[in-house]
Structure formats: structure tokens, C-alpha cells
């Protein structure tokens, strides 16, 4: 422990964000990193606890506590404090293939389990991780390192999201020949088209993918496996196949008027916005002539909370929305931990994310309305959505099931004017055509079935990982599953694994 009293001497200092009025002018990341000396002080705040809950990755009361990757957090915090960045990066990469992704988009389960946070502010673990990996790229510590020996075994990875990339990276390091198939036009899956540019600039993904290419991983885009690319062909050509296609079935809302023009799934809106930015070659709002799905001058209704709903709010504001309203079915969470939600459990508390901050600054109010949903959409004479009939909800006990559920409050209906609707209600599971092409079984939640704790499907040679396996989840869980499936695949090929 480099600084035993660091947590008492130094206050938590986060990197500063651009003001909402400035950052909505562009689609770039908007946090300004601390200086190296300031960052060392933040590393010094780590207590190097005897029991470091930050890296535990335990499930407590149904929620994850600490890092699912079991990152060696106290070790690299200490190395950061000492300025030994090369060793800090080595310890970071030991458990995490892509810290430049998690350092940007992870909700930092590690920080909510930090011992410093019991009676004060937790260590800036996420930003420390970001600093270590970015310095690693800047000074040249991160460079291609292809395996010295090849095993001759070949593996196809279907899907290039975080789980597919992690599996490919691990198996390539082992010496296997890995080919990644992606149905889209760019590599990255959820990272590329599901997360907005202001949270993860796309050149960051390209930087890592190019490194993997130099190390020997083959990437094929525009390959829609199970549709125009035959599953039988892959099973014949490769020794193993890993399905990492994500949970890409968006949850719909079935109400009258749903077929109206101007109603989109959030994933389609965000994907089109990212593609428009990439094709325009600029991230400045004023330089982008138009968007495929545009919120400019429109009254936008976002249905659903969570990260995706917030991303829709932030993207709509940057496109020039006239107003934004975000509906959440559930009640607002408390501002502080409840007594039945103690540390180190994940804190079930209300948070205001960047999109809501921007809406508050631009429109003068928080865009969220809680315990409310849409009952019906109304259209104009041309079939465009023009109004939504909303209804209030309340929690009531079902006398039959003895469970609480959200039910409509009679007489609470209200009409609101809208021009654009974005449905951010989550995802339901894997798309059936991929599962059917390989003949893999699905579980009750339409995820690909495997034995508990395993990644092999019911089909010989076929494995699965990520959201396709566990359902919609976090990038950090996807990376963990990619690493775990790589171990299982390696053992099945070699009789043992050292991954």
C-alpha cells in the first residue's frame, strides 16, 4: 500500500465535464482528464482493503457487487500512485481485455462496493482505469503481440460485440486461428451502434480492432450468419463456433396506433444517428446536414428509462429537439440508500445521467415522468403520430399471485402532443433465425440454453456467450462471458486450458 493515509489526505476529484450548453454542440466525449499528478492522488486514496469488495463480483440480493471481471483494483491503484504505469497496465490487462471500453461505459459496480464509500466518497476506480489504458496507448506500451506458435485449430465467432471480441482476443492469444463474423458494416456490435458517440467515440473501437487484426484475428463484415451465410458451412469449416450475437430483439409496446409513422425503437434511432455521424465524417452538430431519423424541431417522447432511454434524450437534444419527455413505468427510486439496501449491495438509488442533465439545462426541467405509460397513439390525416394518450400507474397487490404490479389509475388519462416516439423498453433475447440455423435450444427467456455455469450449447462444437446467453446486460458482463467461453472452447480443443 503506497499511501496508507491517502484516503484521509485526498478528497475524491472527478474529471470535469463540459457544460451542457457546450457539449450538446457536438457528439464527442466531453470529460476532461485530470493531470497525472492529480490522478496519482486519486490512486493513493485506495485503502488496499484486506477484503476488497471492489473486485469481488459477488451477487448480493440478486444484484452484482463489485467488478464481474475481478479486476485487480487495489494492485493497479497502488501502481498508479507510484507512477509505474507499465506494470499497472499489465495488471489491468490480466483480467480485462478492453479497459478503454469499460473505463468509458461501465456503471462502475466496483465503486459502489468501495470501502471508502461507506462513510465518504469511493475511489475514482473507473477514471483510474481509463487513465492507465490511455497512457498505455499514448506512450506505446500497447502494441501488437501476435502469438509465437499457432495450434492449427480454427474458431468462428459470430458477433463482434464485447463478448465476441473478448472471446476472439483470448483464443487468438492462445494461438488458435479466429475469424469474427459481423452482419453489420462495422465491427463492434453494441459498442459501435448501441452506445452513442459521446459515451464511446468510435475510433476507440477501431483502435483496438486494428490491434487485434495485427495480432492475427480475421474480421468479416456484412456476413449475416443464419440468413445469407450458412451455419452448416461454418460448422464444416471451423473446429468450434461461438454464438455471441447479443439480445437484439427490442421489447415493443402493443397499444392502439402503434403502427403510426414516427414511432421507432430506440436501437434503430441510436444506430442511425451513429451511422450518420460516421458517414458525415464530423461530430459537430452544425456540420451534419441531416439525420436519417431526425428529432430536429420535434416534440420527442422517450418510453423507458435506463441507459438507452437517457441516450435517446441526449441524442435528441443534440439533433435539436423542440422538447423531450421521458416516461418511466416504475416509481422514482430514493435519493439515498434505503435501510434494506446496505453497502456493499448495488445501490438502488435515483441518478441523473448526462441526457437528463442536458434536458434540465436546455428546457429547464427534468424530462422524466415516473409511474406513467402510453395507452394509445393518435395520428394526423397523413398517418403520422401526433398525440399520445398517457395514463398514470400505481403499485397494487394482486390477491391471486400475491405480487405487486403496476396498474392504471382510473381517470388519469391525458393527451400530449408529440412528433417522434422512441421506444427504449429493453430487449427480449436472441433473434430466432440465428438459433434456428444452428439448432440450439432456447430457455424460457429466449436466451440460448446451456447448463448452469457452462457455455456449450446442445449442439456439438457450438458455444455461446454474452447477452445471447445471459440476456440484456452490461458490457463488463459481456467481456467476462467472452473470456469464460474462450476457456471452455480452448479446453475442448486442447484437453486443458491456460487461459
463-479 tens-digit pLDDT: 999 999 999 999 999 99
d(CA 133, CA 78): 15
Q: Which of 266, 246, 252 is nearest to 430 (CA)?
A: 246
Q: What is the pLDDT of residue 398?
A: 86
Query: What topology is assigned to 6-139 in CATH?
Result: Fumarate Reductase Iron-sulfur Protein; Chain B, domain 2 (1.10.1060)
Question: What is 154-249+428-494's CATH superfamily?
Answer: FAD/NAD(P)-binding domain (3.50.50.60)
Question: Rounded to whole angstroms, how far apart are CA atoms 246 and 165?
Answer: 12
Q: Which CATH class is domain 263-423?
A: alpha beta
| Nearest alpha carbon to residue 259 among 104, 423, 407 | 423
Lookup: cell for 207: 483502435
Per-residue confidence (pLDDT) for residue 399, from 0 to 100: 85
- Own/partner pairs, 204-212, CB within 8 angstroms, 24+ separation: 204/100, 204/101, 204/104, 205/101, 207/100, 207/137, 208/98, 208/100, 208/101, 208/165, 209/165, 211/142, 211/143, 211/144, 212/165, 212/168, 212/169, 212/172
Cell of 275: 451511422
CB proximity list for 287: less than 8 A, separation 6 or greater: 280
| Cα–Cα–Cα angle for 459, 464, 467, rounded to 5 degrees | 140
Under a CB-based contact definition with an 8 Å cutoff, are residues 360 and 366 in contact? Answer: yes
Q: Which of 106, 71, 105 is nearest to 91 (CA)?
A: 71
How many angstroms separate the CA atoms of 227 and 438, rounded? 11
- Regions of the chain short of the pLDDT cut 70: 1-2
Beta strands in 116-266 (DSSP E): 154-158, 177-182, 218-221, 240-243, 263-265
Q: Rounded distance, CA 426 to CA 305, Å?
A: 9
Same fold across 154-249+428-494 and 263-423: yes
Cell 435515483 identifies what position?
A: 350
State the cell numbers at 303: 418510453
Residues 456, 149: Cα–Cα separation, whole Å: 26
Across 443-468, b (16+ Cβ under 10 Å) vs e yields eeebbbbbeeeebbbebebbbbbbbb
Do 106 and 126 form a contact (C-beta atoms < 8 A)?
A: yes
**Cα(402)–Cα(393) distance, rounded to whole angstroms?**
18
Complete DSSP assignment for 301-370:
EEE--HHHHHHHHHHHHHHT-SEEEEEESSPPPPSS--TTS-TTSPP------HHHHHHHHHHSS--EEE
- Give the predicted TM-score (pTM) of the model: 0.96
Between CA 212 and CA 414 the distance in angstroms is 53
pLDDT for 1 equals 63
C-alpha–C-alpha distance, residues 112 and 106, integer Å: 12
Secondary structure of residue 70 in the 3-state scheme: coil
The one-character DSSP state at 442 is: B
Residue 168 burial (CB < 10 Å; 0-12/13-18/19+)? buried
Distance, CA of 408 to chain centre: 32
Q: Is there a contact between 424 and 302 (Cβ–Cβ < 8 Å)?
A: yes
| Beta pairing, strands 31-32 & 16-17 | antiparallel
Domains of the chain, residue spans:
6-139, 154-249+428-494, 263-423
Amino acid at each position: 500500500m503506497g499511501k496508507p493515509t491517502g484516503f484521509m489526505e485526498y478528497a475524491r476529484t472527478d474529471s470535469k465535464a463540459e457544460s451542457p450548453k457546450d457539449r450538446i454542440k457536438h457528439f464527442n466525449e466531453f470529460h476532461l482528464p485530470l493531470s497525472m499528478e492529480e490522478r496519482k492522488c486519486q490512486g493513493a486514496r485506495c485503502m488496499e482493503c484486506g477484503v476488497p469488495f471492489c473486485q469481488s463480483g459477488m451477487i448480493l440480493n440478486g444484484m452484482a457487487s463489485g467488478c464481474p471481471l475481478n479486476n485487480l483494483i487495489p494492485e493497479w491503484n497502488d501502481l498508479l500512485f507510484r507512477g509505474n504505469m507499465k506494470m499497472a497496465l499489465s495488471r489491468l490487462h490480466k483480467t480485462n481485455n478492453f479497459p478503454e471500453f469499460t473505463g468509458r461505459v461501465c456503471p462502475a459496480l466496483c465503486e459502489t462496493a468501495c470501502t471508502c464509500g461507506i462513510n465518504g466518497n469511493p475511489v475514482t476506480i473507473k477514471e483510474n482505469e481509463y487513465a492507465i489504458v490511455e497512457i498505455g496507448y499514448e506512450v506505446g506500451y500497447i502494441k501488437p503481440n501476435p502469438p509465437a506458435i499457432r495450434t492449427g485449430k480454427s474458431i468462428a465467432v459470430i458477433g463482434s460485440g464485447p463478448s465476441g471480441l473478448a472471446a476472439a482476443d483470448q483464443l487468438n492469444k492462445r494461438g488458435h486461428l479466429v475469424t469474427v463474423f459481423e452482419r453489420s458494416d462495422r465491427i463492434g456490435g453494441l459498442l459501435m451502434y448501441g452506445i452513442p458517440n459521446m459515451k464511446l467515440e468510435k475510433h476507440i473501437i477501431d483502435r483496438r480492432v486494428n490491434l487485434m487484426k495485427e495480432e492475427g484475428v480475421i474480421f468479416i463484415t456484412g456476413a449475416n450468419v443464419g440468413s445469407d451465410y450458412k451455419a452448416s458451412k461454418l460448422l464444416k469449416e471451423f473446429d468450434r463456433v461461438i454464438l455471441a450475437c447479443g439480445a437484439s430483439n427490442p421489447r415493443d409496446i402493443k397499444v392502439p396506433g402503434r403502427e403510426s409513422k414516427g414511432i421507432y425503437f430506440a436501437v434503430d434511432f441510436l444506430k442511425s444517428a451513429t451511422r450518420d455521424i460516421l458517414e458525415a465524417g464530423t461530430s459537430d452538430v452544425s456540420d451534419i446536414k441531416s439525420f436519417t431519423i431526425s428529432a430536429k424541431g420535434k416534440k420527442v417522447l422517450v418510453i423507458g428509462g435506463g441507459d438507452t432511454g437517457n441516450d435517446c434524450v441526449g441524442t435528441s437534444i443534440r439533433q435539436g429537439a423542440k422538447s423531450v419527455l421521458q416516461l418511466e413505468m416504475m416509481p422514482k427510486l430514493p435519493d439515498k440508500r434505503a435501510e434494506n439496501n446496505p453497502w456493499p449491495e448495488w445501490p438502488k438509488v435515483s441518478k441523473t445521467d448526462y441526457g437528463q442533465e442536458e434536458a434540465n439545462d436546455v428546457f429547464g426541467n427534468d424530462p422524466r415522468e415516473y409511474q406513467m405509460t402510453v395507452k394509445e397513439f393518435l395520428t394526423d390525416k397523413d398517418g403520422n403520430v401526433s398525440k399520445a394518450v398517457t395514463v398514470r400507474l400505481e403499485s397494487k397487490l394482486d390477491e391471486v399471485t400475491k405480487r405487486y404490479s403496476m396498474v392504471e389509475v382510473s381517470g388519469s388519462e391525458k393527451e400530449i402532443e408529440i412528433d417522434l416516439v422512441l421506444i427504449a423498453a429493453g430487449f427480449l433475447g436472441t433473434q430466432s433465425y440465428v438459433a434456428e440455423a444452428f439448432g440450439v435450444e432456447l430457455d424460457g427467456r429466449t436466451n440460448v440454453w446451456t447448463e448452469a455455469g457452462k457455455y456449450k450449447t446442445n449442439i456439438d462444437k457450438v458455444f455461446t456467450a454474452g447477452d445471447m446467453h445471459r440476456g440484456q446486460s452490461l458490457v463488463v458482463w459481456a467481456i467476462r462471458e467472452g473470456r469464460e467461453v474462450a476457456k471452455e472452447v480452448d479446453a475442448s480443443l486442447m484437453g486443458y486450458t491456460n487461459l
